[in-house]
Structure 1
């Protein structure tokens, strides 16, 4: 009997985690570069589920701004926050007071040879910043560095660190995508899909509730029968 109650309790715990995932997705519909969460089996966790970031592309919003960069294909920019390397999908960058390329939240954007710095005085109407599909940065004919973009071989090892950045402790993958300049990637959340997930979750919770009610009635009937004897 205890096993049955524990199983039903685990199901409810799983439903709570799934609802939290749907809520986060809906709350971030307008967050550039946000990766929608999908619950996936992970027996290393108590509930046997973990939030898996969706690797599909989000739609592009054209901005024409030279420091707005979007990735196509599974992959992440590499950034640094307080000495820790993290991964980020949103490429809405800016230059700070020292000329360092940073995210909107201040994380430093890393290139193949370390942090990327750009002397804004080099950029003119005749020599604008140009970013190639492979992440190479140019000012006219002068190379400024190359963005470090990586893929992940074990998406379940991604852990959100806030402000659109992830810690990754898994094996690296080979990035085979491209960089698009002058555009920002939108969240890859599908509102219709989230509504469908919510409807399915509601039905599942109701089924678990009925099962618990039936089980409670069986226990009550059993206890009464024992009392009669």
Structure 2
């Protein structure tokens, strides 16, 4: 019995129908996630228009170097997971498994760097409600910037963490030859999820780290 036949759920007539249903479900899920982040970005933009000076000042407190490195790390991880999927589609296994481990490691390094960012901001007194020591006329509205900053980046980091776990599971299954050139749907859907995580960050990076920084 092939891997594809073994993984066919009883409610489906054939593997193609199961693959199409799985893809539709994943794209629906990704659409809801995109809508959620879209609302966050819209709210952030409205607040930035309302308090341009305070948001520009808040943006200058973020670590642009770390943010740039984090962006490069996620873009590299997106390439790695795409190569892993392609290797499985061509009948590979070991290279794909190691590429998935590399992708997960890059995701973990992203989270570690984000942790260093948060710790640095804590020491600077930039965490509203916990440790906020900023003074001056912009200190009040600048708290709004940091509230949105922590919510957006924190929620994104949660998605990265979920993705790391998912990729490690996929790496294990790939290593154990659970996928083949004929059956790789779970890996394909996991790769789609990871690409969403990367795309969201591509919007987060300029919105928070770059816009208004020169002001």
Q: Could you tell me the TM-score, scaled by structure 1's length?
A: 0.26
- The structure with the largest helix share of the pair is 2
